[in-house]
Amino acid sequence: MSAPLWTSADMALVTGGAATADFNVIGSVSIDTRTLKPGDLFVALTDQRDGHDFVEAAFAAGASGALVSRKVGDGPQIVVDDVLKALEQMGIEARSRCAAHRTAVTGSAGKTSVKEMLAQIYRAFGPAHWNVKSFNNHWGVPLTLTRMPEETTRAVFEIGMSTPGEIAPRSHMVRPHTGIVTCIAGAHLEGLGSLSAVAHEKADIFAGLEAGGTFILPADDEFFEYLAGRARRFCPTGNLESFGHAANATARIVGYETDGQESCVQLDVVGKPVLVKLNAVGEHWALNAAAAVLAASQSGLAVTDCAEALSGYTPPPGRGTSERLALPGGGHITLIDDAYNANPASMRASLAALTRRPEGRRLVALGEMLEIGATSDEEHASLAAPVVETGAAGVFLVGDKMTHLADSLPPQLQQIWAPNWEELWNQLEKTLQDGDVLLIKGSNASGMGRLADRLRQWSEPALGKMDSGAESAAEVG
């Protein structure tokens, strides 16, 4: 029988709290009674709702104990002054007692994909640990650390932000051996004001880098030198590595081919040629693969082993996955669900990837991009050329900000605008026909993920399937 993840005595010691009774956490750590499993520790966080209101439900679901700031009911509990602070303390202790190689990932786009790729590689070579979904915010990072078993050999942590000053403390919490910035793009400009400010904040991923660690940067990014300078200031003994198309990139993209369903990425990693096959389409996936293989090789794995373990990778729901859906009246469409999130860079990448898909009438459904800042109107309007280049036969737009794209599209291109996805549905349903390829993308709050789910429910074989477009409040940029 494996050792418990936590004991009440350990938790009381680490947090300075008081145990109302002895108990062991034989499962994991949960903040949601809907997904809690017997043996889990329930953490009563106060966020959008007060977790203390769900303590009794957690015990009814089989929780082994609860972490609280006030005692609720009769189940075994650790009572602390501040639940979030106690969770952070437990996360730091979990990191300290585990010898795992830790990788941290951030960036304006691609960070969840690179994290998932690394998780796939790490799982192939022993006990691995990673963020669930995109639990990368102020409670998602300590929660992920707290869940990490002591026997973990490799772990990867996605770290995000929504306002300045959020990445550095999470980096100090994780203390990564390897840190990655995937790219710098126009995300969260509303809170940060400029791309330079975005680069400054993203570089904070290296604030907690272990001495002698590795910082991995996008070789083709205009902020490469700035990021490198910030990284060296944080960790003067660190090693600089890079990925991309540049001739001097450590992990260089040599070639990319796709049949519209799968992709083959040829890489040269420090002179070692490797081939990675992905169940994904779009040249941005080559960048993600290069970053992941390079980062994994820093954990003591051979480059060839990393590439082999990554081959066959399939993106998680909402990240550009391709699905064949039956139409109720007969025939099929191909749904490209890339509705997890959106910013100008990821929008362009997704639209470019659509041109690589198999032949068929192409349709584009786009939700507005949020938190873009003062240039939001221009950024939405500038998507007109990438949309036209897809050869789309029709464009469906959602949200006030998408009116700027609508005004910039050629008048002969069929387009339909609606204030929300619900009001778009009837028009989209009437338009779809056998053989169509439909791309859906937008920021979380635009509801495009729910539009994708509505399509699945409408499609006869998908009836009864669980929603996959709902997003966690723990995801930030």
* Mean of pLDDT values over 268-289: 95
Shortest CA distance to 14 belongs to which of 87, 76, 84, 99? 87
Residue 466 — pLDDT band, cuts 50, 70, 90? very low
Per the structure block, which two tokens stand in for 284?
Answer: 């941005």
pLDDT at 471 over 80: no
pLDDT score, position 475: 55
Amino acid at 336: I
Task: Report in angstroms the alpha-carbon separations of 299 from 7, 294, 447, 460.
Answer: 30, 9, 38, 45
Per-residue pLDDT at 463 exceeds 80: no
User: 329 or 252: whose pLDDT is higher?
Assistant: 252
Provide the pLDDT for residue 93. 98
User: How does residue 220 score in pLDDT terms, banded at 50, 70 and 90?
Assistant: very high
CB contact at 8 A, 267 and 296: no
Mean pLDDT confidence for 218-247: 97
**pLDDT tens digit string along 138-155?**
899 999 999 999 999 999
What pLDDT score was predicted for residue 470? 32
Q: For residue 201, what pLDDT band results from cuts at 50, 70 and 90?
A: very high
The pLDDT of residue 461: 53
Higher pLDDT, 360 or 241: 241
Structure tokens at 196: 């330079």
Q: Give percent of the chain above pLDDT 70.
A: 95
pLDDT of residue 31: 95
Mean pLDDT, rounded, of the chain = 92
Tens digits of per-residue pLDDT, 63-79?
Answer: 999 999 999 999 999 99
Q: pLDDT confidence of 472, banded at 50, 70, 90?
A: very low
The pTM (predicted TM-score) of the whole model is: 0.88
Q: What is the pLDDT of residue 467?
A: 37
Which run of H or E residues covers position 425? helix 421-431
Q: Tell me how far apart the alpha carbons of residues 163 and 296 are, in angstroms, rounded to a whole number.
A: 29
pLDDT at 133: 78
Distance CA 41, CA 94 (A): 14
Which pLDDT does position 149 carry in this prediction?
A: 97
Report the pLDDT value the prediction gives residue 153, as an integer from 0 to 100.
98
- 362-391: pLDDT as tens digits: 999 999 998 788 889 999 999 999 999 999
Residue 468 above 80 pLDDT?
no
* pLDDT score of 188: 64
- How does 284-316 read in b/e, with b if 16+ C-beta sit within 10 Å? bbbbbbbbbbbbbbbbebebebbbbbbbebebe
Q: Dump pLDDT digits (tens) for 152-192.
A: 999 999 999 878 899 999 999 999 999 999 999 876 666 67
Q: What is the rounded average pLDDT of the residues 230-238?
A: 97
For residue 464, name the pLDDT band (cuts at 50, 70, 90).
Answer: very low
Torsion of CA 37, 145, 119, 113, to 10 degrees: 100
184 close to 198: Cβ distance less than 8 angstroms: yes
The helix/strand/coil state of 438 is: strand
DSSP state of 41: E
Segment 338-360, tens digit of pLDDT: 998 888 989 999 999 999 887 78
Q: What distance in Å separates the CA atoms of residue 231 and residue 414, rounded to the nearest whole number?
A: 48
For residue 144, give the 3-state DSSP assignment.
helix
What local confidence, expressed as pLDDT, does residue 1 receive?
Answer: 52
User: Is there a contact between 348 and 282 (Cβ–Cβ < 8 Å)?
Assistant: no
